[in-house]
Structure 1
Amino acid sequence: MKTFDYARADSPEAATRDGSGEGVKFIAGGTNLLDLMKLQIETPDKLVDISRLDLATIEETPEGGLSIGAMVPNSDLAADELVRERYPVLSRALLAGASGQLRNKASTGGNLLQRTRCYYFYDTATGCNKREPGSGCSAIGGLNRIMAILGASDQCIATHPSDMAVAMAALDAVVVTLKPDGDRRRIALRDFHRLPGDTPQIDTILEPGELITHVELPPAPKGKQLYRKVRDRASYAFALVSVAGVVSVEDGRIASAALAFGGLAHKPWRDPAVEAALIGQVPGAAVFAAAADALLKDARGQGSNDFKIPLARRTLIACLKELTA
């Protein structure tokens, strides 16, 4: 591991000041960053430890939603009584991720910032534009079973690994940040992560030194909530396809729908066309098929991951049946 400087922040403001320089990384639970440093995929010159900041509380907002501190451990968030009661899709998504030990350590903010689990990103002997811009994408034409079928580019076909972020995208979560100049930003989670384009090495729209302080959820949505994760084994595996859904039915028609998908793209995927195909319709096979068509109209496999297209279709339709039953 490359040597680095270390600083422990005693306030969010101090963290952003210390974290604004080039080659600086924040560290909280470290469940992803430390692994990447050991492989010298991440080689920061300095780590700013934010693990002791007072950002580990879950509080109700005046509007009736929740404010979740960036340092809340995934286990605590999944077990919180208000989360389980009002946002079960989030609790289920968290419990579907990683292992109990990792959930005890991983933070809410860090979960959003974890990097892809693409085989080639972790293999420093191969080309990877996300790890080393301009070196090529070895997944294209290589082992790409877990890779993206939506929103990819000829520079990168990696997927985002988070389960929590998919549920938060369906819940219209907002990421609250603090910048080094003292300004605060509120970023809709659906806009927080980037598609690869020509710069796959840039995962989010955060600026240098910008610190996640909270994630805010709006008041609990109407309707039924569901999180379904299709994976190679029952635990400790990333999603091949996942669906976070919130759907309400009134007077026999779908009154509202929010659907986000994991395992399909470089970011949690939410397409307004999918929801538009459902709202106002009487639940049924034809309506569900139309939503799947909207989701997959631009889907593109890379060979080994072609199976994800019919798998995503079947998973979405099965979830819609359950959500509207």
Structure 2
Amino acid sequence: MRPFDYHRATSPAEATRLADQKGSAFIAGGTNLLDLMKLEVMAPDRLVDVSRVDADGMGGIEPQPDGGLRIGASVTNSALAADPLVRRQYPLLSRALLAGATAQLRNKATTGGNLLQRTRCYYFYDRDTPCNKRSPGSGCAAQKGVNRNHAIFGTSPACIATHPSDMAVALRALDARVELLSPRGKRRIVPLEGFHRLPGDSPHLETVLAPGELILAVHLPPPIGPRQIYRKVRDRASYAFALVSVAVVLRMEDGRISEAACAFGGVGTVPWRDPALEIFLKGEAASEALFDEAGRLLLRDARGQGGNDFKIPLLKRTLRAVLAEAMAERASNPAGGEA
């Protein structure tokens, strides 16, 4: 690990001011960043610690007047998964967090840091191999290498690495928005769908964050429905990154889908969502034909890389199972207002 300066911020404004220079990075739980620093995949000159910043609601979970929720960026994954309102109104989020890591990691990992996780691509971690995400312009060793865990959606000739977060997949299905603060004191709110960038020809630019910009909170609107399922398929039953994961939120009326949101992990270079699939599902009743057609529609542009071709039929089967479970489930959340 290379030498670096360390500063503990006492407020969001101080944190952004300290981080407003090249080579700076924020640290909270450090569950991903410290690993990358030890391997010298990342080597920031300055770390700005925001783990103890509680101003501007960074450490709280706050119900909102519209029935939604504001989750501070410093809230740990353990606290978020165990929060009674989250478990009652957003069980999808709680389940994704509990599937994502060990209790020890959840006790340290934060909401903001989870969104900023970097890929677990082997070649990204191996400094002796080409990786455009780590070293722009060097190439992508995964294209012709071991790519079993890589993406089938959103890839480019420059990068096929997956986004690793379980939490972000659930938040994508829940229409989350991300509240940001710039070093000039300007706040903005970015829909999660626009927060992570597709790799294109610049995979090292992973989010729309400007230099020194800090995540303050994540905002959730009221859920579109009470039927919420998160299913993660992985190589072993203990904690591992997803081969595929499916997050589904449904609202049913008169036996048919009136609203649907579907997001996917382990398969995209960003937390993946397909609006065409959701439009297709609206107004439909459960049937084997519906589930099969939904899978075909979702996978119409999927592209395997050889080692990960198995993800295409695996995702189709997983989506089919989750939709069947969600449509058959009795609503257990009165706040969802399901007919």
**Taking structure 1 as the reference length, what is the TM-score of the superposition?**
0.99
Structure 2 residue aligned with 1:204, among 189, 207, 212? 207
- Classify the secondary structure of the residue corresponding to 1:96: helix
Matched, 1:5 2:5: yes
- Give the corresponding residue for 1:244: 247
Amino acid at match of 1:27: I
State percent identity of aligned pairs: 65
**CA contact 2:121–2:162 (8 Å) conserved in 1:** yes
- In the TM superposition, residue 23 of structure 1 has moved relative to its aligned partner by 0.5
- Classify the secondary structure of the residue corresponding to 1:206: coil
- In the TM superposition, residue 110 of structure 1 has moved relative to its aligned partner by 0.2
Gaps of 5+ in 1: none
Supply the distance in 2 between the matched residues of 1:217 and 1:31 (Cα, whole angstroms): 24
Stretches of 4+ aligned residues off by more than 6 angstroms: none
Supply the distance in 2 between the matched residues of 1:221 and 1:60 (Cα, whole angstroms): 16
- Give the corresponding residue for 1:324: 327
- In the TM superposition, residue 223 of structure 1 has moved relative to its aligned partner by 3.2
Supply the distance in 2 between the matched residues of 1:234 and 1:84 (Cα, whole angstroms): 23
- Give the corresponding residue for 1:34: 34
Supply the distance in 2 between the matched residues of 1:256 and 1:2 (Cα, whole angstroms): 51
Amino acid at match of 2:266: G
**CA contact 1:277–1:290 (8 Å) conserved in 2:** no
Amino acid at match of 1:25: A
- Give the corresponding residue for 2:332: none
- In the TM superposition, residue 221 of structure 1 has moved relative to its aligned partner by 2.8
Gaps of 5+ in 2: 329-339
- Write out aligned runs for 1:125-140 (5 A): 125-140=128-143
Structure 1 residue aligned with 2:77, among 74, 77, 97? 74
- Give the corresponding residue for 2:47: 47
Output the aligned Cα RMSD. Answer: 0.8
Any idea what the Cα deviations from partners look like across 1:277-304, whole Å, max 9, x if unmatched?
1001122122222221221111010111
- Give the corresponding residue for 1:120: 123
Amino acid at match of 2:99: A
- In the TM superposition, residue 220 of structure 1 has moved relative to its aligned partner by 3.1
**CA contact 2:224–2:259 (8 Å) conserved in 1:** no
- In the TM superposition, residue 64 of structure 1 has moved relative to its aligned partner by 1.1
Matched, 1:292 2:316: no
- In the TM superposition, residue 192 of structure 1 has moved relative to its aligned partner by 0.8
**Taking structure 2 as the reference length, what is the TM-score of the superposition?**
0.95
The farther-off stretch of 288-297 and 311-320 is 288-297
- Give the corresponding residue for 2:67: 64
- Classify the secondary structure of the residue corresponding to 1:139: helix
- Give the corresponding residue for 2:337: none
Amino acid at match of 1:35: D
Any idea what the Cα deviations from partners look like across 1:72-93, whole Å, max 9, x if unmatched?
0000000000000000000000
**CA contact 1:277–1:287 (8 Å) conserved in 2:** no
- In the TM superposition, residue 190 of structure 1 has moved relative to its aligned partner by 1.5
Any idea what the Cα deviations from partners look like across 1:29-55, whole Å, max 9, x if unmatched?
000000000000001111111111002
- In the TM superposition, residue 6 of structure 1 has moved relative to its aligned partner by 1.2
Supply the distance in 1 between the matched residues of 2:80 and 2:159 (Cα, whole angstroms): 32
- Give the corresponding residue for 2:19: 19
Number of equivalences: 325
- Give the corresponding residue for 1:167: 170
